[in-house]
Amino acid sequence: MKPKQQRLILAILALVAVVGAGLLAAAALRDQAAYFYTPSEAKAATITPGEAARLGGMVEVGTLRQDADGLTILFSLTDGKASVPVRYTGIVPDLFAEGSGAVADGQFNADGTFVAEKILAKHDERYMPPQMGEMPEHLTDTVVDGGAPVAPTAAATAPARAPGQ
């Protein structure tokens, strides 16, 4: 076999391997990927019941109620244009409340109800991690305001004292 034919065979084998890896990756992602819908998009779209989806919006005020079993909650997610009823069984995050943002992972039923398997509560844009509360004030001002660096204060530039001084 000539070297030119060997290179051609290697190139074809490499191409087959790359295409095979791509097909395997696409098949694996199909089971894991979930399309994100807002309530108005979900109402307008034709969604196959049982298909994995993610629904995000605000928990509509006055719709949150607990089922008799104590673990199942029913509420509606809204984007201001449409609302979708959601059913969830489990423990909700601490930040979950009426009027707050939430994202639900799950699937739609044939009747249009979204059955959530996981609820993620959103915090507002002013959220700061608890560790930020322990930082000196002049540093948190810079981070929170996002402005130019703040000149160090006299207390921050003073030399450290040894214990007992």
Q: What is the model's pLDDT at position 125?
A: 64
Q: Helix (H) and strand (E) counts for the chain? A: 4, 7
37 annotated among ligand-binding-site residues: no
C-alpha dihedral, 128 to 133 to 138 to 144, nearest 10°: 10
Q: What is the model's pLDDT at position 128?
A: 61
5, pLDDT greater than 70: yes
Query: pLDDT, tens digit, for every residue of 63-91?
Result: 999 999 889 999 999 988 899 999 999 99
CA–CA distance, 148 with 18 (Å, rounded to integer): 48
Q: What is the model's pLDDT at position 89?
A: 94
Taking a C-beta distance cutoff of 8 angstroms, is the pair 108, 70 a contact? no
pTM of the model: 0.59
123 annotated among ligand-binding-site residues: yes
Domains of the chain from N-terminus onward: 32-121 (2.40.50.140)
